[in-house]
Amino acid sequence: MVTASAPGKVYLFGEHAVVYGEPAVPCAVERRATVRVEERADATLRVDAQDLEIEGFTVEYGAATDELGVEVPTELLEAATEYVDGAVEQARDACGAPDTGFDVTVESDIPLGAGLGSSAAVVVATIAATAAELGVELDPREVADRAYQVELDVQDGQASRADTFCSTMGGAVRVEGDDCRTLDAPDLPFVIGFDGGSGNTGELVAGVRELRERYEFAADTVTAIGDIVRRGEAVLTEEGPSLDELGRLMDFDHGLLEALGVSSRSLDEMVWTAREAGAYGAKLTGAGGGGCIVALDDSSATETALSYSQACEAVFRAELARDGVVVS
Amino acid sequence: MVTASAPGKVYLFGEHAVVYGEPAVPCAVERRATVRVEERADATLRVDAQDLEIEGFTVEYGAATDELGVEVPTELLEAATEYVDGAVEQARDACGAPDTGFDVTVESDIPLGAGLGSSAAVVVATIAATAAELGVELDPREVADRAYQVELDVQDGQASRADTFCSTMGGAVRVEGDDCRTLDAPDLPFVIGFDGGSGNTGELVAGVRELRERYEFAADTVTAIGDIVRRGEAVLTEEGPSLDELGRLMDFDHGLLEALGVSSRSLDEMVWTAREAGAYGAKLTGAGGGGCIVALDDSSATETALSYSQACEAVFRAELARDGVVVS
């Protein structure tokens, strides 16, 4: 039996624009998905998922048929099982063991569909754990690449390498198309506010695409986000980066995302709460439409203010996760 | 004795960017400043201002000295008297009557400093009324031009022709630098929400300038606002313009203004309230930082929703004001 874990992430800069070839800088945060994998004597894949911020579920199905053995109650749940299924397939493929069955147990303290890369973390940890259970230690770049393939499959061709690469490598990374690099960044005082909801990633991405195709100023706005990322990356990798400037860039990025139609009332309210509490800056993270914001604040003021905000269901500090995927 | 009135305005598109030579489309709305002017036997200028959404004030001072005869309680009040003083000076100059004294009574139902062009309306009405009291009917273009000079003087060289031209001509107008035109626009179902506050225009304009000088993406954001205005003007002057598209452009414009740092928590909250109530679109109007939003909604839903919003102190419908300055 092998256990692996992988971190979630926030976007310091660049979500949505990354879809159009602009760079993005996601940062891994200390909220992890943990996956335990044990080889079975038969070819069955049995998945037990707990604490996914949805009701725990257990699904049992044959590896060959791809058909679920039980009724799946929600779309979100269905997606979660698809991710695990895809990840196990990738590990089997990498290890040349197409017919091996597994018991897979997934635990996660990353809210689902909230912009923190929960699915990427589950996929990355599942691939690494399954391969390790088969006696193979995959190179991290291969884990990241195979995890990306899973997201691509499950999300109908709509995925960026940002989430899976960041979750695999840990720390701050820079992703531009297929070019993925780790960044030498200091720790950052992240505060994450969660409104308890989630946006519809597909619809949000489609909305941006429509605006971008219709209006040149929307395409220019996407490019401006890319310029913010380039400036932000330069600041982040300076000796003793300016949190003031990083915050100002986050604020600007948030406004451009709001212009592109992917913010929401509760996200904006949390962003204002953080700013008024004295955060260096604050923005939504991920696809938007609901879910999480990320703020920078080295005092406890933002955390306290968000804990009293009606829009905020949960708030937590999250250190930059130095470790990406860890197999034990 | 002569009475003149002039309307306030909302920016359908383009505030802030207009400072940098981009076009803007302000629209006059049916909230008016009314100024009564009566020639005096001496050279004294006596100003009595009522209902300026601040305490009524009466100020008496000699035309020659420019010194106020009484203590002025607030900066806003001081500014208000400066506008009236400057407007009377312009009328005296236009009519060749430098030493004539007047009793001037100002009434206004346009909130002060809230982005609705209250000062421009007062200045325009004062110039027209004072000139008429001196027996001169000024050409509207001259009224607009002289009113602009007053704003320029009082605001230390920071002014656009947008407010004063719009207030003078009424209807929808287009202003790009010194190029001012009236537009042939249909009536628009404006709903205005007021948070009871006001931003510091000087600081807000300076903040945008700093961002724009520092970051190319901020300069590009200002240009993108100009592109929204160009598109918006085209839609507005179509036969039967699409309120859907005008609203979408307003929403986008608001996001870019938010990126430039001129929105506020209460403005954003009112904007979301309007959008969730079904408005075609909503944005802040004017300098921002507090004050008013403008939404498009031909139903009563936005007005009702805003009346229940904590962030909103006052809400009203405002038809497009066909008449600009009117002397009676």
- Using one digit for the tens of pLDDT, what is the confidence trace for A239-250? 989 999 999 999
pLDDT band (50, 70, 90) for residue A160: confident
> What integer pLDDT is reported at residue B78 of this predicted model?
65
Tell me which chain A residue has its CA closest to the CA of residue B282. Answer: A259
Contacts of A269 in chain B (CB under 8 A): 265, 268-269
Of A51-55, A143-147, A216-220, the range with the lowest mean pLDDT is A51-55
> What integer pLDDT is reported at residue B51 of this predicted model?
56
Average confidence score pLDDT of chain A? 91
Cβ neighbour number for residue B109 with a 10 Å cutoff = 17
Contact B259 A254 (CB under 8 A): yes
pLDDT digits (tens, 9 = 90+) for A284-316: 999 999 999 999 999 999 999 999 999 999 999
Contact A258 B257 (CB under 8 A): no
Pick from B65, B317, B93: nearest CA to B189: B317
| Spatial separation of the C-alpha atoms in residues B84 and B112, rounded to whole Å | 14
pLDDT digits (tens, 9 = 90+) for B106-147: 988 888 778 899 999 999 999 999 999 999 999 999 999 999
pLDDT(B73) > 50: no
Residues linked to residue B194 through DSSP beta bridges, in sequence order: B292, B314
Angle CA A123–A127–A130, to nearest 5: 130
Give me the interface pTM, i.e. the ipTM: 0.89
Return the amino acid letter for B101: G
Residue A220 annotated to the active site: no
> What integer pLDDT is reported at residue B108 of this predicted model?
86
Whole-model pTM: value is: 0.91
pLDDT digits (tens, 9 = 90+) for B282-296: 999 999 999 999 999
Give DSSP secondary structure letters for B5-55.
EEEEEEEEE-TTGGGGT--BEEEEEEEEEEEEEEE-SSSEEEEEEE-SSS-
> What integer pLDDT is reported at residue B48 of this predicted model?
85
How far A93 CA lies from chain B's nearest CA (Å)?
A: 45
Residues linked to residue B6 through DSSP beta bridges, in sequence order: B33
* CB pairs A-B closer than 8 Å: 90
pLDDT(B64) > 70: no
> What integer pLDDT is reported at residue A51 of this predicted model?
56
Q: Give mean pLDDT, residues B24-28.
A: 98
How far A105 CA lies from chain B's nearest CA (Å)?
A: 41
Percent of chain B with pLDDT over 70: 91
pLDDT digits (tens, 9 = 90+) for A117-141: 999 999 999 999 999 999 999 999 9
Mutate to test the interface with B, among A252, A266, A309 (most CBs of B within 10 A): A252
How far A301 CA lies from chain B's nearest CA (Å)?
A: 18
Contacts of B269 in chain A (CB under 8 A): 265, 268-269
Catalytic residue among A51, A66, A93, A163: A163
Contact A265 B269 (CB under 8 A): yes
What 8-state DSSP symbol labels residue B293?
E
> What integer pLDDT is reported at residue B80 of this predicted model?
74
The contact set of B with A (CB < 8 A) is: 211, 215-218, 220-221, 223-225, 227-228, 231, 251-261, 263-265, 268-269, 272, 276
**Residue from the list B231, B261, B265 with its beta carbon closest to the beta carbon of A251:** B261
pLDDT digits (tens, 9 = 90+) for A85-102: 999 999 999 999 999 999
| Spatial separation of the C-alpha atoms in residues A26 and A10, rounded to whole Å | 6
Pick from B133, B81, B143: nearest CA to B112: B81
pLDDT digits (tens, 9 = 90+) for B179-211: 999 999 999 999 999 999 888 888 999 999 999
Q: Give mean pLDDT, residues A253-281.
A: 98
> What integer pLDDT is reported at residue B160 of this predicted model?
86
> What integer pLDDT is reported at residue B77 of this predicted model?
60
Return the amino acid letter for A218: A
Of A12 and B76, more confident = A12
**Residue from the list A220, A251, A268 with its beta carbon closest to the beta carbon of B220:** A220
Average confidence score pLDDT of chain B? 91
| Cα first-last separation, chain A | 10
> What integer pLDDT is reported at residue B236 of this predicted model?
96
pLDDT band (50, 70, 90) for residue A267: very high
Contacts of B263 in chain A (CB under 8 A): 255
Secondary structure element (H or E) that encloses residue B216, with its range: helix B216-236
Give DSSP secondary structure letters for A208-223.
HHHHHHH-HHHHHHHH
